[in-house]
Amino acid sequence: MIYLFEDFELDTARVELRTNGVAIAIEPQVFALLCFLVESRDRVATKEEIVARVWNGRVISDSAIASRIKSARRALGDDGGAQRLIRTIHGIGFRFVADVRLAATRIESIAPTAETAPDTDRSQAVETSRPSIAVLPFRLLGAADPQFSIGDALPHDLITELSRLRWLFVIARGSSFRFRGAEPDVGRVRTALNVRYCLSGVVEIHHSAMIISVELSDAEDSGVVWSERFRTQASAVHEIREEIVRAVINALELQIPLNEARRARLKSPERLDAWSAYHLGLHHMYRFNKADNSVATALFERAAAMEPGFARAYAGLSFTHFQSAFLSYADNVSEAANLAQRAAEQSLERDPVDPFGNFTMGRAFWLCGDLDASLPWLERANALNPNYAQAKYSRAWAQALLGNAASSRANVDEALALSPLDPLLYGMFGVRAFSHLVMGESAEAAEWAERAARSPGAHALIEMIAVLAHGLNGNDARAKAWARSARARVCDLNKAAFLRAFPFRDQLMLKRVSDELERFGF
């Protein structure tokens, strides 16, 4: 990735900072710090996050952070007085405030033409199929009972659940279970079954204990994409089978799209097929800033143009138009909201039982304040995929604003358990804070709101939740700090924007929120 700002280029692949094409000498830690600040430019990067990213969480002094910040400013021709590019948010952290462009945005403007059409040679052919996976029978080590079935039972359950993910092509059990016995040769599996991914596992029995190791491999290069190990008592394995399957499914829903985006970035722009464009769009979509949201929109539009029947491309468009309206990226918020709803409708016209399409339709109703109408669509998304964490979180969001704190908390807690590394984690924490506010539990609300505002991807409206929660909890100093941070990110942020995004149904709660935001200058 190459980030462009003023006369500078920040090249993460080459680990170079350049000005007018000339590399600037910079220490590795300073480069890492600068990358983190640029990547987090739509929010304040806290000192704790900087320590975790640059020093891997080691205990270091504030003076060490200050020294690296000073070096980064010096490399950019900035200083602590001017703070032209790197701004200090006292009591919280630092924020990169320059306008940043992505050099990668040029790929979206390339439309397929006769001149750019891919070579018809087989070695250069564009892949057009969606990701595919073979789940192999798990190898059994140390089992005393030859009839012990877990080595087949878990993969069978995984095949059943993975088949519910409509973006993933799953090889049937009758074919994948032919690869039984010794450690699988991923290359042979790929050749025989024509798959992009291979999921394998080992079940080890030691006396009464059982260890289940699961590994996802990229069949193209046999590299390990993800792995996990589960421990349990052999006698209890069937009781927690569902829990293991759920954990694996949710990991794959995150890891396969991430790997697909990585593969797409390695392709030349003219060879991006619809699925590659879609997954690269997801990568930008979850960065939660205006520039990346625009890139994602262009990629989803390209995917839809290449494959007009591609339902998920339209669901992605609905998601990015939602962001444009919800976060006021668009000059005309009402138009962006209409585009979000229309794209969700187009997705469902092409595939009415896709969970992502139903999810985006449910969220589209948020934008017009019709929370009651959103719930059936979100519930349908979870009926189609019970492990869909973002749909559960979205239901919790609507329920909290409708005043149903108990149901909201149950759904958001399940979402957090299903997807502890979700791109929308900041929103899940924010909803948890709302559920406590509705219950009048201001101390707990402040704790969850703080976690929300500090999470990756958190935007200015999330920081306003922290202002609200800390204010109601009597911690005016912390509320003022988050208010400064929110205004630094969006100078014209106000109470009306917050209440448009979070339309509380209960009038008493609405007044409490309104009065508290006014108290802190919103």
Q: What is the CATH number of the domain that holds 60?
A: 1.10.10.10
Residue 426: pLDDT band by 50, 70, 90 thresholds? Answer: very high
95 and 167, same domain (yes or no): no
Nearest one of 474, 463, 461 to 500, comparing CA atoms: 461
172 and 87, same domain (yes or no): no
Average pLDDT over the chain, rounded to whole? 84
95 and 175, same domain (yes or no): no
Nearest one of 80, 35, 41, 74 to 54, comparing CA atoms: 35
**Is residue 325 one of the residues assigned to a domain?**
no
132-135 and 197-206 strand pairing: parallel
Nearest one of 207, 213, 201, 215 to 233, comparing CA atoms: 207
Q: What is the DSSP letter of 303?
A: H
Instruction: Count up the domains in the chain and report the number.
Output: 3
Residue 144: pLDDT band by 50, 70, 90 thresholds? Answer: low
pLDDT digits (tens, 9 = 90+) for 357-395: 999 999 999 888 888 899 999 999 988 888 788 899 999
pLDDT at 143: 57
Across the range 387-407, mean pLDDT stands at 91
Distance CA(245)–CA(99), nearest Å, equals 44
Helix axes 425-438, 405-418, angle to 10 degrees: 160
pLDDT at 389: 87
137 and 93, same domain (yes or no): no
| Tokens read off for 273 | 């097929």
**Is residue 262 one of the residues assigned to a domain?**
no
Distance CA(423)–CA(307), nearest Å, equals 27
Helix axes 442-454, 476-489, angle to 10 degrees: 30
pLDDT digits (tens, 9 = 90+) for 173-186: 878 888 877 677 88
**Is residue 321 one of the residues assigned to a domain?**
no
396 and 509, same domain (yes or no): yes
146 and 45, same domain (yes or no): no
Q: What is the CATH number of the domain that holds 429?
A: 1.25.40.10
392 and 513, same domain (yes or no): yes
Structural domain boundaries, residue 40: 2-99
**CA torsion, points 300, 302, 307, 310, in degrees to nearest 10?**
10
The pLDDT of residue 118 is above 50: no
The residue out of 206, 225, 252 marking a domain boundary is 252
**Is residue 296 one of the residues assigned to a domain?**
no
* HEC readout, 267-283: CCHHHCCHHHHHHHHHH
**Is residue 412 one of the residues assigned to a domain?**
yes
90 and 155, same domain (yes or no): no
Residues with Cβ within 8 Å of 476's Cβ and at least 6 positions away in sequence, in order, are: 470
Across the range 87-96, mean pLDDT stands at 86
pLDDT digits (tens, 9 = 90+) for 480-513: 999 999 999 888 889 998 998 898 988 999 999 9
Q: What is the CATH number of the domain that holds 142?
A: 3.40.50.10070
Distance CA(188)–CA(194), nearest Å, equals 10
**Is residue 294 one of the residues assigned to a domain?**
no
| pTM exceeding the 0.85 threshold for the entire prediction | no
Using CA atoms, how far residue 101 sits from 83, 292, 443, 476, in Å, is 20, 9, 40, 36
Lowest-pLDDT range, 121-135, 207-221, 308-322?
Answer: 121-135
The residue out of 213, 237, 252 marking a domain boundary is 252
159 and 90, same domain (yes or no): no
The residue out of 233, 252, 271 marking a domain boundary is 252
171 and 80, same domain (yes or no): no
47 and 147, same domain (yes or no): no
The pLDDT of residue 428 is above 90: yes
pLDDT at 41: 83
402 and 517, same domain (yes or no): yes
**Interior CA angle at 90 toward 87 and 91, to 5°?**
135
pLDDT digits (tens, 9 = 90+) for 316-359: 999 999 999 988 888 898 999 999 999 999 999 988 888 999 99
**Is residue 343 one of the residues assigned to a domain?**
no
**Is residue 456 one of the residues assigned to a domain?**
yes
Distance CA(363)–CA(373), nearest Å, equals 10
pLDDT digits (tens, 9 = 90+) for 226-263: 988 888 887 777 778 888 888 898 888 888 888 888 77
Distance CA(457)–CA(516), nearest Å, equals 25
